[in-house]
Amino acid sequence: MAQKKTGNRSVNSKMSDIRYKVLVGLEIHVHLSTQTKMFCGCELEYGAEGNSRVCPVCLGMPGSLPVMNKQAVEHAILAGLALNCEIAEFTKWDRKSYYYPDLPKNYQISQYDLPLCINGSIEIPLEDGGTKKIRIIRAHLEEDAGKNLHTAGNFSQIDLNRAGASLLEIVTEPDMNTAAEVRSLAVELQRMVRYLGVSHADMQKGHMRFEPNINLIVTKDGTEYKTPIVEVKNLNSFRALERSVDFEIHRQLDEFLETGQVLEMGNKSTRGWDDANQVTFLQREKEEAHDYRYFPDPDLVPVKVTKEWLESIKARLCELPLKRQKRYVSEYGLDDYDAGVLTAEHSTAEYFEDVVAKGAYFKRACNIITQDLLKLANERGSSVADLGIPAIHTAELCKMVEEGIVSATAAAKITTIMSESPDKSPQAIAEEHNLIQKSDAGELEQIVDQVLAENPTAVKDVTSGGKKSKKARGFLLGQVIQKTRGQANPKVASEILTKKLC
Amino acid sequence: MEELSAKELRDKIVAGRISSVEATKAVFERIEKLEPTIGVYISTFEKHALAKAREVDEKIAGGESVGQLAGVPVAIKDVMCINFGATTCASKILENFRAPYNATVVEKLLLADAVIIGKTNMDEFAMGSSTENSGLKRTVNPWDTNRVPGGSSGGSAAAVAGWLCFAALGSDTGGSIRQPASFCSVVGLKPTYGRVSRFGLVAYGSSLDQIGPITHTVADTALMLNVIAGHDPADSTSVEEKTAPVGDFLERLDEPIEKLKIAIVPQFNAGADQQVQKALSEAIEVYKKLGAEIIEVEMPHLDYAIAAYYIIATAEASSNLARYDGVHYGHRTQNPGDYIEVYSKSRAEAFGKEVKRRIMLGTYVLSSGYYDAYYLKALKVRNLIRGDFTKAFEKCNCIVMPVSPTTAFKIGEKVDDPLKMYLSDIYTISANLAGIPGISIPCGFDDSELPIGLQILAPAFDEDKLLRIARMFEKETDWHKRRPAIEV
Amino acid sequence: MAKRIDQAQVRKVAKLSRLELSESEVEEFTGQLSAILDYVEKLNELDTDSIEPLAHCLPINNVFREDCVRESLGTEKTLANAPQRDGEFFKVPKILDDSSGA
C-alpha cells in the first residue's frame, strides 16, 4: 500500500484519488537522575523491595508536606536549555486531580499554566544523513505515580517506591511525519539527556515513556479531511513506539476510508499497544474530558529563575550529541555512521577526542575505537571509557598502526591485552607477544627471495600476466607473511614483491 | 493548682515546689471526674504522660536544664500527628490511624519537656464552628453544658477552660482557635501564616491553616509561641528565621506600646449582638484610659470574606481530603464491588455530612467551566481583602473587633443550616485570608454569664506587638481570672 | 426559584469526588449547596478585572532541599496502616481498565 517515505503518500483506490499526510506529536516522560524523589528524600532504587522507599510525604499521609528537590529543577532547566526553550522567569506548581490507587494523594503535583520551559526545538537525524527540526511546545516537572502490579488473582498490588520520582514531561508539536522520525526523536532525546547527565534514560528501567498523538490529513478527490487524533499510552521501548505509530497510521487510513469519520472537538481517543499481537486497542472512547481541576498547589511556593542562577546552569551545557556528530563529519571527515557510533555515548566521544588530542590520527582512532574497543566493551557490557585503557595508550597504538609497526589485526589483540593490563604500554605488549611487524626491507627482501625461489609456478603465473596472475601474486604475498609468522608488514612486503617480480 | 497558669506551673516545677508527676496526676483525676460531662478528649495517654513527667522531675532533681514547658500538662487538637497514639481528626475515616511520625510542633513540645495529656475533640477535619461536626464524640462548653464550646478547636478550648490541661494547641483556618477561645473565656492566638510549621498538621485549607496556642493568659501564649514558632525545612510555607526571627515573646511582654493607635471598623461591628458590641465598647474604653488613640477605618471588602473563604478553603479541602480513600490507610468499606467502590463507599461511609458538603463545594468550584467564575474570582477578592488590611495598618498598630457575632449558642441550634453556621465566622475569617495574626482574649460576659472575646489583629509577623497590646488589656482587667462552675 | 445547582450536577460532582450519596443526601445537599452558591454570588458585586489573584500570602519563593537521601519508613511501617496488604504491597480489588488518569 503505502511506501515508507516522508511526505505525502498515495493510495490506489478504485474510485478516488487518495493521498495522506501523517502528523505525529510526542509526549515523553523522562525520569531525572536525581538521587532522591522530587518532593522528599526517599532514595530511588530500581528493584528495591516493595514499598521500602516510601516516607510520609510520598505516601501522602495526613499532615505531610512536599519540599522541592533543587537538583531536579536544575536538571530540568538544563534540559530545557538544551532543547532551546525559553526558561520561565517565574514558574509554579499545580495540583492535577484524579483518583487512582498508585497516586497516593489522588492528585499529582505537576505544572499547568506556567511550565518551566516553553517554545523550544530539537534537531533529529534522518536516515538520509540530513536533519529535521522538531518543535517543542513545553517541558515541565512533575512527580511520578507508583506502580500497579496486576496479579493472577482478583486483586491488584500497589508499590509506591516510584511514587514521587521526578519526571520531566516534554511535549512536541505534531511535526513528525513518519514512524521512523518518531523513533529518531526518541533516540535523539535519549542520547541528549544522557549527554547532559540529567537522566540515565535506561529503557530497561522504564526511565522513558512515550505517548504519541497521531492523526492523518487525508486528501480525497481534492478535499482535505483530518482523521480523529489518537493517543497511544505508555510505550516504553523504541520498538513499541515505532511499531505502534506505524500500525496506527494504517489503521486510521483504513478506518477513514471505511467510515469517513473526521476530527471533531472531543473525539480524541486513547489506545494501548498490545505487543503480543502488535496492534493498538481502544482504551477510552471519547476523551471524557478528564476534569483535572488544576489549581495552584498551596503547599509549595513558586520558583523564580534569576539571571545568575540561569547563567550558572547554562555553563553546564555541553556540546549536544547531534551537533557533535555532525562536527566529526565536517571537521574530521568521518562518515556519518561512524560519527554516530562515536557520539552514541558522551563518554565515548570524550575518549575519542582525548585520544586524538594525544596525537592519534582521527580516522585511525575512529577505527580502533569503533571496531576494537567497542567490540570489547559490548562483550563486557561496559562502555569504551570504562574499559580502563588510558587514552594515551590508545593514541600510541594508533600511531603504531599508522607507522606499520603493528598490523591492524595485531592491534585488535593488543587492545584486549591492554584492557586487562592497563599499566602496560602497547609497545611493551607488542614486543612481549611478538606482534611487531617486520618492516625492515632488507630482512623482508631475503624472505621474499626465498618464497619466490620455492614457488616457481606461481612466479610464472604472475609474470605471464594471465588470468591467474592476481591470484598467484596474492598467494606469494601470503607465503611471505606466513614465513614471518604474520609479522611481515604487508605493505612493505608487497612493494618488495612487486619490485622483484617486474 | 487550678489557679496556676502554665508558666507559673512550669516555674514551680523547675523550682521543685511541685512535681510534674503531681500536676499530671491531678489533671488525670480531674479528667476522670469531668470528662463524662465535658468530653474534650478523644484519646489520653496516661502512661506516656506520667513517664514523661517522671523524666522531667528526675532531670530537675539531677540539676539538668529543662525546656520552657518543663513538666506542664498540655493537650493537642486531634488534627496533629503523633507517633505514640492515634490521630483521628475526629473522623471515622481515621479512627484507628497511627502516624509513623510526630508533627513538628509535637516534636517541639516534647523537646521543651511538655507532658502531653491527650488529643482533643474537634469538628471533623477542622470543618465547623461548634465541634458538633465531630464524628466521634460530643464536647460541651464548661460555662454552660447545653452550649457549644465553639469550633473547630472546641475540645482544646474547653480543655483549657475546664482545667483539664494547662495549655493546649489548636488550629485555625477561619477562626477555629479564636472563636472557641472566646466562647470558653480563654486566650487563643492564630499566628501569622508561616510562623508555625504545618508539617504534621492534617491539612484542611492549606493556604489558611495555622497552628496556635490556647491558654489562660497572654504570658502563656507567649511561652507557647516561643516553643512552637520557627522555620521548618520540612514545610515549604514556613518562613525563614531572617524574615520572622523568633525572639523571646515573653521578654518585653509587659512593656506597653507607646502612642498606641487602635483602629475599629464601626459598620462591620454593627452586625454583632448588642451585648457583644457593648463588651467591645467597654474594652475600647480600657485602651483609651491607657492612652491609646482610637481611629475609625473603612474596610469595604470584609463583607465578602465569607464568600471568598468558602470557595478557597473548600477548593483546597476537596483536594487535601482526596487522599482518604481506603487504599493506603484509614477506613475501607467491607465489600467493595470494584476498586472505584473502595473509594466511593469508604468515603461515603466514614465522612460526616459537613465534610461531604465542603468536598463537593470545593470540587464544584474547581471544576471545568467554574474555575474562573468562582476560584479565580475568590483569589482576586482575597487580594482586595488583604489590601484593606494593608491600608488600615498604615494608620494603626492594630485593629480591634468582635470575635464572633454571638456568644456560645445552644447545641443543635445552627447545625442544620450550614450557611447560618458559616455566617458566624464573619469576624475571624479575613485574618486567615490575609495571613495576619489575630488573638482572642476574654473581655466580658453577657447576661447569661457566657464569655465574650475581644479580637485584636496585627500586621504580619507582628506577634510581639500584638501580645503586648493584649497584655495591656489583661493587666487592667480580670475577666481571664474567672472560672466556670462546671455542672457535673 | 431555579436552583443554582441541580440534582444532576450534584450527582456529577459527587462522582468526581468519589462520594457515593444516597438519594436523600442528593436531595438535601442540592438544597444546601444551592443556598451556599447563591450566597457566594455576592463576589460578583466587586469589580476585580484589574486585580491579581492572591494564591499565596507569603513573600517567599525558591524553597528547596538538597538532593540528599533521607531514611525511608521501610516496608513494614509503610504498610502498618494499610486496610489490606499482600506481602510487601498494598492490596486493592483488581484494576481492570488500566485507564490511569494521566
Note the pLDDT of residue B201.
Answer: 98
B344 noted as active-site residue: no
B45-64 mean pLDDT? 96
B77 included as an active-site residue: yes
Q: Please list, residue by residue across A431-465, b when 16 or more beta carbons sit within 10 angstroms of its beta carbon and e when fewer do.
A: eeeebbbbbeeeebbebbeebbeebeebbebbeee
> What domains can be seen in chain A, in order of their start residue?
9-308 (no CATH), 321-432 (no CATH), 441-501 (1.10.10.410)
CB contact under 8 A, C100 and A145: yes
Q: Is A158 on the interface with B (CB under 8 A)?
A: yes
B485 C-beta neighbours (distance < 10 Å), count: 9
Nearest to A215 by CA among A251, A257, A183: A251
- Report the CATH fold assignment for B6-256+438-481: Amidase signature (AS) enzymes (3.90.1300)
pLDDT of residue C101 exceeding 50: no
What is the count of residue pairs from A and C with beta carbons less than 8 Å apart?
A: 140
* Cβ separation B323–A104 shorter than 8 A: yes
Residue of B52, B59, B77, B119 marked active site = B77
DSSP conformational letter for A228:
P
- Chain A window 278-317: which residues touch C at a Cβ cutoff of 8 Å? 283-284, 290-293, 296, 298, 300-304
The average pLDDT across C41-57 equals 93
Which residue from A65, A104, A289 is facing B235, i.e. has the nearest CB? A65
Which residues on chain B are in Cβ contact (under 8 Å) with A107?
319, 322
Q: In the block, which residue shows the cell 515549604?
A: B236
- Nearest 5 degrees, angle CA B232-CA B237-CA B243? 75
Give me the phi and psi of B198, to 5 degrees please. Answer: -95, 5
Q: Which of B91, B134, B171, B176 is catalytic?
A: B176
| Residue A101 near residue A156 (C-beta atoms within 8 A) | yes
In chain B, how many H helices and how many E strands? 16, 11
Cα–Cα distance, B213 to B112 (Å, whole number): 15
CB B213 within 8 A of CB B221: yes
User: Collapsing DSSP states into helix, strand and coil, what is residue B168?
Assistant: strand
The C-alpha of B244 sits at a distance from chain C's nearest C-alpha, in angstroms, of 11
Contacts of A291 in chain C (CB under 8 A): 16
Nearest to B432 by CA among B150, B133, B171, B81: B171
From B130, B134, B152, B430, active-site residue: B152
Burial class (CB in 10 A: 0-12, 13-18, 19+), A311: exposed
Q: ipTM for the complex?
A: 0.95
Q: What is the pLDDT of residue C102?
A: 43
- Class of domain C7-43 (CATH, top level): mainly alpha
CA distance C54 to chain A (A): 10
Residue A1 confidence (pLDDT) = 40
Domain boundaries, chain B: 6-256+438-481
Residues of B in contact with A95 (CB under 8 A): 319
- Which single residue is written with the C-alpha cell 498490588? A157
Pairing of β B293-296 and β B261-264: parallel
| Model pLDDT, residue A216 | 95
Minimal Cβ distance to C102: which of A70, A108, A158: A108
Burial level of C28, CB count in 10 A (0-12/13-18/19+)? Answer: middle
- Residue B154 has, within 13 A of its CA and on its CB side, a CA count of 37
CB contact under 8 Å between A105 and B322, yes or no, is yes
Q: What is the mean pLDDT of residues C6-20?
A: 94
- Residue C65 is nearest to which of A68, A108, A283, comparing CB atoms? A68
> A43 has which bridge partners?
A36
**Interchain pair B307, C29: CB under 8 A:** no
The answer to whether B310 touches B422, Cβ cutoff 8 Å, is: yes
Q: Does A54 reach chain C within 8 Å, measured CB to CB?
A: yes
What are the chain B neighbours of C58 within 8 Å (beta carbons)? Answer: 193-194, 237, 239, 435
Dihedral class, residue B326 (left if φ above 0, else alpha if ψ from -120 to 50, else beta): left
3-state secondary structure of A401: helix
Q: Using one digit for the tens of pLDDT, what is the confidence trace for B164-221?
A: 999 999 999 999 999 999 999 999 999 999 999 999 999 999 999 999 999 999 999 9
Q: Which three cell numbers stand for residue C19?
A: 462520594
**CA distances, B131 to each of B140, B413, B454, B485, C40 (Å):** 9, 13, 21, 21, 24
Question: How does residue B479 score in pLDDT terms, banded at 50, 70 and 90?
Answer: very high
Residue by residue, DSSP assigns B77-99 as ETTB--SSS---TT-GGGTT---
Instruction: Measure C69 CA to nearest chain A CA, in Å.
Output: 5
Give mean pLDDT, residues B461-473: 97
**Residue in chain C lying closest to B432 (CA):** C57
Determine contact, residues A319/A83, Cβ cutoff 8 Å.
no
β-strand B73-77 against B115-120: which pairing, if any? parallel
B203, B237, B339 ranked by CB distance to A63: nearest: B203
The whole-number pLDDT of residue A3 equals 41
- pLDDT averaged over 10-residue windows placed end to end, chain A, 502 residues: 48 69 97 97 92 97 97 97 96 95 96 96 91 97 94 89 97 97 96 94 93 94 92 93 96 92 87 92 68 95 96 89 91 91 92 92 92 91 90 93 85 90 89 80 83 87 83 87 80 84 76
At residue A441, the pLDDT reads 73
3-class SS at C68? coil
d(CA C58, nearest CA chain A) in Å: 8
| Cα distance between the two ends of chain C | 40
pTM (2 decimals)?
0.89
Q: Given an 8 Å threshold on Cβ–Cβ distance, is B81 in contact with A62?
A: yes
Is B54:B21 a contact under the CB 8 Å cutoff? Answer: yes
* Residue A254 to chain C, least CA–CA distance (Å): 26
In this complex, the chains that touch A, judged by 3 or more CB pairs closer than 8 A, are B, C
pLDDT, residue B411, reads: 96
Element (H, E) at A220: strand A208-220
Which of A54, A155, A301 has its CB closest to that of C73? A54
Which chain A residues are closer than 8 Å to B97 by Cβ?
A: 62
Strands A269-274 and A230-232: parallel
Whether A141 contacts A76, CB under 8 Å? yes
Tens digits of residue pLDDT in B358-397: 999 999 999 988 999 999 999 999 999 999 999 999 999 9
CA distance C89 to chain B (A): 10
Residues in B closer than 8 angstroms to C14, CB to CB, are 360
Task: DSSP letter for A43, please.
Answer: B
CB contact under 8 A, A101 and B339: yes
CA atoms of B125 and B121, how far apart (whole Å):
10
Q: Which residues contact B328 (CB under 8 A, 6 or more apart)?
A: A59, A60, A104, A160, C81, C82, C90
In the 3-class helix/strand/coil scheme, how is A75-119 assigned residue by residue? HHHHHHHHCCCEECCEECCEEEECCCCCCCCCEEEECCCCCCEEE
Find out whether A144 and C100 touch, Cβ atoms under 8 Å: no
- Return the residue of C nearest to A51 by Cα: C75
Nearest CA in chain A to C97: A283
All residues at 6 or more sequence positions from B414 whose CB lies less than 8 Å from its CB, including other chains:
B129, B130, B420, B421, B424
C: neighbours with 3+ CB pairs under 8 Å?
A, B
**What 3-state DSSP class applies to B231?**
coil
Assess whether pLDDT exceeds 80 at residue B234. Answer: yes
All three cell numbers of A316, joined, read: 553546564
Residues B63-113: tens digit of each pLDDT: 999 999 999 999 999 999 999 999 999 999 999 999 999 999 999 999 999
Nearest Cβ partner of C92 from A42, A49, A156? A156
Nearest to B103 among A63, A99, A295 (CB): A63
Are A35 and C67 inside 8 Å of each other by CB?
Answer: yes
Cα gap B461→B458, rounded to integer Å: 8
